[in-house]
Structure 1
Amino acid sequence: MEAGLGEIPFGIDFHPSKELVAVSLITGVLHLFKYNADNSSLQRCLDIRAHAESCRTVRFINGGQAVATGSKDCSILATDVETGSIIARLMSVFSLSFGVHCRLIFYLNWLLKYNFIWMCMNAINSLINLTESTVASGDDEGCIKIWDTRQRSCSGSFNAHEDYISDMNFVPDSMKLLTSGDGTLSVCNLRTYKVQTRSEFSEDELTSVVVMKNGRKVICGSQSGTMLLYSWGFFKDCSDRFIDLSPNSVEALLKLDEDRLIAGTESGLISLVGILPNRIIQPIAEHSEYPVEGLAFYHDRRFLGSISHDQMLKLWDLNDILQSSESTVKGQDASSDTDSDEVEVDDNPPRSKKGTKTKNANKGAGFSGSNTFLADL
């Protein structure tokens, strides 16, 4: 299944239970598609001008009742999935000119009174769901903010990087948020809103992050095509490197299971990759000759969605694609990978150098609020 988008897409996400997929575009537009597996068709059911500038990321929130988009215009918009109406918009008035600021002040005061607007300082580059009612945003200046989507308020914020946040991965058991971006991997404690530990600076920008091997390995994609493998609890330096995807930048990673992941590269190729032992199991698909910008799973993982600079949304049937790899040995003995499950804590994480921010060129600090909203989780 495929559908033309008309512009370059930046974000993709599937509804947690319905046959819906959301795509955000460089023009600030949000598309919502309904797909029918029986006749292999995609039908556009929602088309919204969500942002004034590029819409970089999209996530279904509140159990799929709404879809959130983050933009270069320093705002996060929550849209009702059924009606397409705006539920709330988080935006920054600090980036506006003084004249525009004055003209909007009374309007903004009214919106703030009724909780229609939340305040944000920098361009948004990444969004991730933490719980059914909380999300985390990562911006161009390396700041992480935690948002309560029902209360429509910021519960806390902290600086994780010195440059943009390229990707985030949440580990609920330990309340850790792993972030990548400016050549470093950071492990953030969401109970204290602090960076718990940070890797040494890598000369290569880290583009994506996933947690595998039952939480014992963290894998980061990079712009050189090398995948860096970190052992949980030993984040200072990577324990292994996988170079078989080089020199094509690894633009997106998706965890399929504890031993396999799916990688999308700038060559347009989507590959199934095994971790420990490290190997390319098989190419899954070739989206196009242009870079793969994003990957996402259908809620039961029957389909894989991909977007690319060819301005197309494509859905791949994983049941058919993965049949040839069913014989691959899974759940291999982990005796050679028995690192401690305890995270080493750095009181003073090293400061990293600034990344080149090449990938996001076209995309465009302290604690605040209550620190108790996650205490009961």
Structure 2
Amino acid sequence: MPDIAVGSQVFDVAFHPAESILYTGLLNGEVNAYRYDEQGQNEHVFTVKPSKKSCRALETDADGSRLWAAGKGKGIYTIDTSTHKVIESRKNAHEAPINRIKRLLPYMLASGDDDGVIKLWDPRKPDAIRAYTQHFDFISDFLWLEDKKHLVASSGDGTLSVMDVRANKTEPFAHSEDQEDELLSIVTIKDNQKVVVGTQLGMLSIFNRKSGWGDCVDRVPGHPSSIDALCSLPSAYPSAHSTILTGSSDGLVRAVQLFPTKLLGVVADHGEFPVERIKVDRAGQGRWVASAGHEEMVKLTDLKEIFEDEDGEGAEGQEEEQEGEAFGAEEENESDEETEAPQVAEVEEKERETRSSDEEGEDSDAPRERKRKRKKEKDPLAAGRRKKGKNEVVAEPSFFADL
């Protein structure tokens, strides 16, 4: 697994949408660019330091010609990626340190700060288009819903808010109830119909857009620590519509499938360092996933090595073979048969004796005994014994031993 040493703690990462270039925002205020090849080998391209204070958030425009950086200095800086220079500075864009930025439309950018204020910007204009103040704690993540032109924001105050950027109102389109936990990250599944939110207590909260934004419709436990980052899987994989990558403060990047819930395995391990950011290159459709924590490096993980077999056969060829097959059902059933409770064994013995005495006079050949297999209930996120699929990795039970 290639690692990129950056020399300072990483706060955010961003990929060029079309080229193999990774950008990092660092604690010392630097923005570094690295070019990588198909083997993950990398070289440093340029370093820009738009502010003396930490760079917490990065975002690129649609073609990658512009890179926006923001952070503790409260300003938003535009970097020309071809000349490697800061071409525009919006100093004091917020009254509090900026925690997240998100490109929404070709001429619209959103930023959220530590006080919960969200602002919309037109890069062509010096002042903000609109400001929203429905949150009172830090903005942790943004999600853009293209079909409705809605911006969804998660906050440390325990609520989600939805803003219709086409409206001129400063009130949100919808605002959830207090979820009684810090909301740290957001991603969509099921063709953008469901929204998954990572929380401080390690719970995945599921919101259904058709049911409204008032409250979550489901909660998925399993992570032993806070879920600080979420990311979608590239759509080329057959389970991408329900599989996400989760970054937790226990240092692990996991691949988790929802509905049904399965822990597919660990994608990257940062040891004792919490995972703060996860991004997939090529606008989320590439093969490399970058994960960053509190250490002074970024891990690049090749998704092909994890979700595809050695022969190069893609995950799609596995979909039909595994259709209808339960997660590790065959091996679990065999294990259950060997370790059945004594009470169940006694009942089955009596049934066999009764059946044998009833059928002895009817047929000279004794009937073949049929083994009964009991299927025990499984913890959806528990990583037990199972058959390894071509597009999966095997996880150890210790991942959720603390639960």
- TM-score w.r.t. the length of structure 2 is 0.72
Matched, 1:269 2:252: yes
Match of 1:189 in 2: 164
Letter in 1 for 2:42: L
Q: Does the 8 Å contact 1:8/1:26 carry over to 2?
A: yes
How far the C-alpha of 1:69 sits from its partner, in A, is: 0.7
Give, as a single letter, the amino acid of the residue that structure 1 aligns with 2:299. Answer: K
SS of equivalent residue, structure 2 residue 17 = coil
Structure 2 matches for 1:1-377, cutoff 5 A?
1-38=2-39, 40-61=40-61, 63-92=63-92, 119-181=93-155, 182-192=157-167, 193=169, 194-232=171-209, 233-245=211-223, 247-256=224-233, 257-299=240-282, 300-323=285-308, 326=315, 327=318
Task: State the distance in 1 between where 2:100 and 2:115 align.
Answer: 12
Return the letter of the residue paired with 1:19: S
Matched with 1:369 is: none
**Contact 1:63-1:132 within 8 A present in 2 as well:** no
User: What's the offset of the Cα at 1:329?
Assistant: 7.7
Q: 1: distance between equivalents of 2:182 and 2:14?
A: 24
Measured against aligned partners, the alpha-carbon deviations of 1:272-302 in whole angstroms (never above 9, x if no partner) come to 1112112212222213321011111110421
Give the counterpart letter for 1:60 in structure 2.
T
Deviation of 1:153 (Å): 4.1
Unaligned regions of 5+ residues in structure 1, if any?
Answer: 93-118, 334-377
Two-structure CA RMSD over aligned residues (Å): 2.1
CA distance in 2, matches of 1:304, 1:48: 23
Query: Residues of 1 paired with 2:264 and 2:176: CA distance?
Result: 29
Specify whether residues 151 and 29 from structure 1 end up closer, same or farther in structure 2 by C-alpha distance, changes over 3 A only.
same
CA displacement at 1:180 relative to structure 2:
0.4
What is the distance in 2 between the residues matched to 1:328 and 1:186?
Answer: 37
Q: Aligned to 1:276, what secondary structure does the other structure show?
A: coil
**1:96-129 alpha-carbon deviations (Å, 9 max, x no partner):** xxxxxxxxxxxxxxxxxxxxxxx43321110111
Preserved contact between residue 48 and residue 85 of structure 2 (Cα < 8 Å): no
In structure 2, C-alpha distance between the alignment counterparts of 1:258 and 1:160, rounded to whole Å? 31
Q: What is the DSSP-based 3-state SS (H/G/I as helix, E as strand, rest coil) of the residue aligned with 1:320? A: helix
Q: Secondary structure at the match of 2:308?
A: helix
CA distance in 2, matches of 1:132, 1:17: 16
Query: Structure 1 243/329 Cα, relative in aligned 2: closer, same or farther at 3 Å?
Result: farther
* Equivalent residue, structure 2, for 1:354: none
Higher percent of residues as strand: 1
With a CA cutoff of 8 Å and minimum separation of 6, indicate the structure with the bigger relative contact order.
1
Count how many residue pairs are aligned between Structure 1 and Structure 2.
Answer: 305
Distance 2:266 2:126 in 1: 42
Pick closer, same or farther for the CA change 1:329–1:222 going to 2, 3 Å: farther
Is this contact kept in 2: 1:209–1:253, CA < 8 A? yes
Measure, in 2, the Cα distance between the counterparts of 1:151 and 1:48: 23
- Bigger CA drift: 317-326 or 209-218? 317-326
Using the alignment, how far apart are the partners of 1:143 and 1:212 within structure 2?
Answer: 27
Deviates most, 151-160 or 283-292: 151-160
Name the SS for the 2:138 alignment partner: coil
Determine if contact 1:127/1:135 at 8 Å carries over to the other structure.
Answer: yes
* Contact 2:153–2:160 (8 Å) recurs in 1: yes
Distance 2:90 2:215 in 1: 37
